[in-house]
Amino acid sequence: VTPWIQRGGNGPRTHALIVGVSAYAHLPRGDEPPPADRETFGLRQLESAAAGAAAFAAWMRDEYANPDAPLGSVWLLLSPSDRETEHVAALGAPQPPRATAAATREALSDWVQACSDPQHVAIAYLAGHGVMLSKDEGAVVLLEDFAADPLDLLANAFDVSAVRSGFGRPEMAQRQLWLVDACAVRPTALGRIEARGGVRLDGDPTHSSEISAVLTSAAPSTLALGLQGKGTLFSQALLECLERRAAVPTAEGSWAVTGTSLAAQVPVRVEELAAANLVDQRATAGGWWTGEAIHVYDEPPKVEVVIEADPEDAGPYCYATLGNGYEELFRDEPLRPRIIRAVPAGYWTVDVVVQPETPPYLTRRGVPCPAMPPAVPRQVVRMT
Amino acid sequence: MSPDATLTVQVPTLSALPGALVEVRDRELRLKGRVAPGHALALSAGSYLATVTTPAGERLIKAVEVGAGDSVEVSLEVPSPALTDRLDERVLLADVPPQRGPFPRRVHGIGLEPPFIRFLAADDGRTIDGVETEPGPDALVVRNPGVEAVVLAQLEQAGQGAPWNVALPMASYPPADHCRLQLVEGADEWRASATPVGGQFVEALASYLITGGLRQAAELAPAAATLLREKGENPVAAALGGYVLLRLGRLDKLRDWPMNLANWFSWLPDGAIIAAELSFRRGALDEAERWVEEALHRGPPMFSDGLSLLVARLRPAAGSRPKGAERLLELSRFVDFAQLALAFPGADPTDPLGGYV
């Protein structure tokens, strides 16, 4: 399979494999009954998994930055639903192949080859229906032609556990991030069938990578969760965290997403988004984590600050200037009754000038306004 | 400019927590130091940000001006130090009277019919008698009657789905002889989560793990190693410390204490699992396999991290798995790995799939 992205360069590189499956060849569409000739665990078509994978692929292509291991290649395989087709088309050329078992197996083989250097970074993103495993293993993710063979139902499924185990070998990329976004097959539906996917590597339980972090989210039902065009709740949460929420300052004062900051923020955001959608969905962080940077920003991420006067009645007489001694982000903006503004993360101070002089309100200068992800508390400036 | 001032940041509810650190950055967000609450950090005059993340997952920030030659002391207040703040809004248990009568016990919830609770051994499902419960401020406090086993609380509600099982993180003697059990009312069923008690350190460690604070847990790691040395006092805390150190790759801090934990607490599967995982990661494969077999012999662990680590080692060994492996592999399909303590549905905890096939 031709990589979706192939960039040159020597030295350590990041290589990614991204697979998203919403359309299943052997699952019923709409109100169709399940097929009578094979077990399909009561599953139906999905609507968000491929869009989420496409959004993550676009982020990798356009935003991902890791000076220790710049992006080298991305293998992308998508099986979009009809409604997701436009999101995949928006990725532009080349269009990714469909996520069948044969194509995925071939891409896996190429990706493994690319990752065969302990200095490299390996990133895997798998989305679709899945049989959930433990939080150190992720899931067995069902590919487009799942259940093609009624006698070997999981032959066309990606076994994250086995592939990760295979990546434990010392010659493989020793820094790994496994992202698994699965709409969970009910554990009872599988009966006593072993959860063993056919797209796999020969795992070696005796080996371990240095860093092999696993973020897994199990959607609670066969319904596709997520806003149209924005992918699944997990993909939304993941991208929000990569873009801003999981950003932390480095020792030198620049900004990065680290393994531990991602592990802390993604489960929180998944839970928040799920609650907003009135469902119970969690994400778990398994495997081995460190504070090493996954993504490094070339400029601080934007965070939203809210500045308001106390009491609110002072607002019409107040004009705010936000800066840090070197630069001003805005000057003499009216507080009527508050300013809401996305600003670069950092340590800012706000001056609030009362104009014209209106007792009992007092001008305030140099009020600290630290703007740090993931969220900035309201900055209430006391004017009396 | 040489430092001629000091900054001391007090964090009242964290001051006694070994390993907790306050981070201090300058105006350009360059890290100037990490310092324990209440300890002075030497700085030059300037503007600084002091931050700390609490076990409940809250991040506290304070901007501080430090003048030349000043000794500045500020306080970062923790609004609510409760162990399970993030869960509080989901907890509907209230006004639970002491329940010391014979099995089954009933507790009062809101909305759903109250569930029955009984207590079972995780390894063979036998009933555990003599477990005492009493109402705490936000949860039931469950007290171990002196049983050396991983004890499950099983919640059952007439007419609803499969009962819900949760392992109770407690040992047979103080200070780890009790834990908190929170009942959570879902859409149409009761769930439960359990958290350890018995000291600020173990509660903070558990809470950081619940709220995803791995970096903060890393700061506690050296103290977790101390806990392992003092495991005779609290094997539950020692096991949690072991999991944190494994997750963060701090194998040097573990030394051989997991093996001692596993040897001295032969009823606790978690010790054997941590010893196995440590051995695997050190490349001591024979020893690792011995500990895996021992862990399987002991049955399901107390913490979901333990089951996750164990089955991740067992699954690739298809065809040559030791006795007992299949049971735990099957159990892992049902477990809620977002919870700290092992939790899963099933009428028979030794065979959660049994009622369905």
**CB interface of B with A, residues 101-160, below 8 Å:** none
> Considering only B85-99, B225-239, B258-272, B329-343, which range has the smallest mean pLDDT?
B85-99
**Tens digit of pLDDT for each residue in A150-200?**
999 999 999 999 999 999 999 999 999 999 999 888 877 887 788 899 999
Q: Which residue has the higher pLDDT, B239 or B96?
A: B239
**Tens digit of pLDDT for each residue in A15-41?**
999 999 999 999 999 889 999 999 899
pLDDT at A291: 87
Query: What share of chain A has pLDDT > 90, as a percent?
Result: 70
pLDDT at A123: 98
Residues near B193 by Cβ (< 8 Å), separated by ≥ 6? B84, B87, B166, B181, B182, B184, B339, B340, B341, B343
Which residues of chain A form beta strands (DSSP E)? 5-6, 14-21, 71-79, 121-132, 139-142, 157-159, 175-184, 211-219, 247-249, 255-258, 282-288, 293-296, 302-310, 318-323, 328-334, 338-344, 346-354, 364-371, 379-382
Sheet holding A379-382, edge to edge: A338-344, A302-310, A379-382
Number of cross-chain residue pairs from A and B with Cβ atoms under 8 Å apart: 145
Chain B contact for A370, CB < 8 A? yes
Residue environment code for B80-101, b if the CB has 16+ CB neighbours within 10 A, otherwise e: ebbbbbbbeebbebeebeebee
Nearest to B29 among A162, A253, A258 (CB): A253
Using a CB-CB cut-off of 8 Å, the residues of chain A touching B320 are none
Chain A contact for B90, CB < 8 A? no
Question: Do B179 and B193 contact (CB within 8 A), yes or no?
Answer: no
Chain A contact for B30, CB < 8 A? yes
What is the pLDDT confidence band of residue B80, given thresholds at 50, 70 and 90? very low
Q: Degrees (nearest 5) of the Cα angle B39, B40, B46?
A: 140
Chain B contact for A382, CB < 8 A? no
Asked if B29 and A346 come within 8 Å (Cβ–Cβ), the reply is yes
Tell me the shortest Cα–Cα distance from B17 to chain A, in angstroms: 21
Q: Copy the structure tokens of residue B1.
A: 């400019």
**Tens digit of pLDDT for each residue in A282-321?**
899 999 998 899 999 999 999 999 999 999 899 899 999 9
Chain B contact for A190, CB < 8 A? yes
Chain A contact for B351, CB < 8 A? no
pLDDT at A224: 47
Phi, psi of A207 (to 5 degrees): -105, 155
- Going A318 to A321 to A322 to A325, the CA torsion angle's sign is negative
Which of B215, B277, B280, B291 best tests the A interface by mutation, with the highest count of A CBs <10 A? Answer: B215
B199: left (phi over 0), alpha (psi -120 to 50) or beta: left
**Tens digit of pLDDT for each residue in B245-261?**
899 888 888 888 899 89
Tell me the shortest Cα–Cα distance from A92 to chain B, in angstroms: 37
Using alpha carbons, select from A12, A26, A27 the residue that is nearest to residue A73.
Answer: A12
Which amino acid would we find at residue A382?
R
Question: Do B258 and B275 contact (CB within 8 A), yes or no?
Answer: yes
pLDDT at A103: 98
Exposed / middle / buried, residue B127 (Cβ in 10 Å: 0-12, 13-18, 19+): exposed
Q: Which residue has the higher pLDDT, B175 or B85?
A: B175
Query: What share of chain B has pLDDT > 90, as a percent?
Result: 45
Asked if B311 and A251 come within 8 Å (Cβ–Cβ), the reply is no
Chain B contact for A280, CB < 8 A? yes
Chain B contact for A283, CB < 8 A? yes
Which amino acid would we find at residue B181?
L
DSSP sequence for A161-194: HHHHHHTTSTTS-SEEEEEEEEEEPPTTTTTT--
Q: How far apart are CA A6 and CA A17, in angstroms?
A: 12
Chain centroid offset of residue A272 CA: 14
Residue environment code for A190-200, b if the CB has 16+ CB neighbours within 10 A, otherwise e: beeeebbbbbb
Chain B contact for A205, CB < 8 A? yes
| CA terminus-to-terminus distance, chain B | 73
Nearest chain B alpha carbon to A134: B308
How much is the average pLDDT of B142-166?
A: 88
Q: Which residue has the higher pLDDT, A364 or B103?
A: A364
Phi, psi of A188 (to 5 degrees): -80, -20
pLDDT at A246: 95
Asked if A260 and B214 come within 8 Å (Cβ–Cβ), the reply is yes
Neighbouring CB atoms inside 10 A of A94's CB total 11
Q: Copy the structure tokens of residue B66.
A: 């430090």
Chain B contact for A278, CB < 8 A? no
Chain A contact for B27, CB < 8 A? yes
Nearest chain A alpha carbon to B212: A264
What is the pLDDT confidence band of residue B231, given thresholds at 50, 70 and 90? low
Question: Do A183 and A145 contact (CB within 8 A), yes or no?
Answer: no
**Tens digit of pLDDT for each residue in B282-319?**
989 999 999 999 999 999 999 999 999 999 999 887 77
Using a CB-CB cut-off of 8 Å, the residues of chain A touching B356 are 188, 191
What is the pLDDT confidence band of residue A220, given thresholds at 50, 70 and 90? low
Using alpha carbons, select from A159, A280, A344 the residue that is nearest to residue B188.
Answer: A280
Q: Copy the structure tokens of residue B169.
A: 């993180």
Tell me the shortest Cα–Cα distance from B318 to chain A, in angstroms: 10
Chain B contact for A187, CB < 8 A? yes
- Most confident by average pLDDT, A38-42, A189-193, B58-62, B230-234: A38-42
> Considering only A99-103, A138-142, B68-72, B134-138, which range has the smallest mean pLDDT?
B134-138
Chain A contact for B314, CB < 8 A? yes
pLDDT at B171: 92
pLDDT at B156: 84
**Tens digit of pLDDT for each residue in A234-280?**
999 999 999 999 999 999 999 999 999 999 999 999 988 888 887 77
Question: Do A207 and A168 contact (CB within 8 A), yes or no?
Answer: yes
pLDDT at A164: 94
Nearest to A264 among B47, B213, B314 (CB): B213
Chain centroid offset of residue B124 CA: 23
Chain A contact for B229, CB < 8 A? no
Asked if A165 and B186 come within 8 Å (Cβ–Cβ), the reply is no
Nearest chain A alpha carbon to B279: A206
Using alpha carbons, select from B218, B180, B199, B237 the residue that is nearest to residue B53.
Answer: B218
**CB interface of B with A, residues 272-301, below 8 Å:** 280-281, 283, 285, 288
- DSSP three-state, residue A17: strand
pLDDT at B101: 29
Using a CB-CB cut-off of 8 Å, the residues of chain A touching B58 are none
pLDDT at B355: 63
**CB interface of A with B, residues 331-360, below 8 Å:** 346-347
- DSSP three-state, residue B118: strand
Q: How far apart are CA B270 and CA B303, in angstroms?
A: 7
Q: How far apart are CA A347 and CA A324, in angstroms?
A: 7
How much is the average pLDDT of B155-160?
A: 76
Asked if A135 and B280 come within 8 Å (Cβ–Cβ), the reply is no
pLDDT at B248: 87
Q: Which residue has the higher pLDDT, B4 or B110?
A: B4
pLDDT at B105: 38
Calculate the dihedral angle through the C-alpha atoms of B131, B134, B140, B144, rounding to the nearest 10 degrees: -30
Tell me the shortest Cα–Cα distance from A273 to chain B, in angstroms: 15
**CB interface of B with A, residues 159-218, below 8 Å:** 186-187, 211-215, 218
How much is the average pLDDT of A77-98?
A: 91
Question: Do A260 and A228 contact (CB within 8 A), yes or no?
Answer: no
Q: Return mean pLDDT, chain B.
A: 82
In sequence order, what are the beta bridge partners of A330? Answer: A322
- DSSP code at position A67: T
Asked if A284 and B337 come within 8 Å (Cβ–Cβ), the reply is yes
Asked if A191 and B337 come within 8 Å (Cβ–Cβ), the reply is no
**Tens digit of pLDDT for each residue in B42-54?**
999 999 999 988 8
**Tens digit of pLDDT for each residue in B85-123?**
333 332 333 233 333 223 333 444 445 566 788 999 999
Question: Do B179 and B195 contact (CB within 8 A), yes or no?
Answer: yes
pLDDT at B9: 94
Q: Degrees (nearest 5) of the Cα angle A324, A327, A332?
A: 85
- Alpha-carbon separation of residue A193 from A128, A145, A152 (angstroms): 19, 18, 10
pLDDT at B89: 30
Q: How far apart are CA B150 and CA B144, in angstroms?
A: 10
pLDDT at B103: 30
- Going B45 to B49 to B55 to B56, the CA torsion angle's sign is positive
Exposed / middle / buried, residue A343 (Cβ in 10 Å: 0-12, 13-18, 19+): middle
Nearest chain B alpha carbon to A203: B316
pLDDT at B322: 86
